[in-house]
Structure 1
Amino acid sequence: MEDYILQVAREGLWLVLITSAPPLLASMGVGLAVSVVQATTQIQEQTLTFVPKLIAVFASLAIAGPWIGSQLVRFTHALFEGFPNYF
């Protein structure tokens, strides 16, 4: 029973890391690009990075959304299939 719980927790944490990577990496890449542009043009507006990051995150979720959804469904299906063995 404990091994099953540890395995589910490990897989759940790994799933969170993998599924959050596309929007996080897109946001970091756009933030870096905008900060380089801000440094070269000496524009120090804090709100300038918000809209490009938001667009990049939504675009990455639109592109990677089906993959993320399939990973979540796979994990949930495996979790529900394992319940009868332990109750």
Structure 2
Amino acid sequence: MSPEFVINLAQEAIKTTILVSMPVLLIALVVGLVISIFQAVTQINEMTLTFVPKILAIFLGLILFGSWMLEHIATFTINTIQQIPNYIR
């Protein structure tokens, strides 16, 4: 197993991780920003107001993007398992 092979595998793993986590993180970022602006405008400082909508939005995002995320993770896993003979060399 050459150093280039290990670096390529690590790059693919990091790329897959970023790609799969990006939709949920963007949803949480947007919802958190909207809630923060709402709280600043109305001067409401309720802690549950920040968490509950964000959790609901993340669950909705997982429902919407879950199959796509699972497909990318499964593709990466299948490719990694199929390359096990190359790891041994």
Unaligned runs of 5+ in 1: none
Root-mean-square deviation (CA), in Å?
Answer: 0.9
Q: Distance in 2 between matches of 1:78 and 1:8?
A: 10
- 1:27-38 matches, within 5 Å, as 27-38=28-39
- 1:67-78 matches, within 5 Å, as 67-78=68-79
The size of the alignment, in residue pairs, is: 87
Cross-structure match for 1:58: 59
Cross-structure match for 2:80: 79
RCO greater where, 1 or 2, for CA within 8 Å and sep 6 or more?
A: 2
Residue 77 (structure 2) pairs with residue 40 (structure 1) = no
Unaligned runs of 5+ in 2: none
Identity %: 38
Runs of 4+ in 1 over 6 A off after TM superposition: none
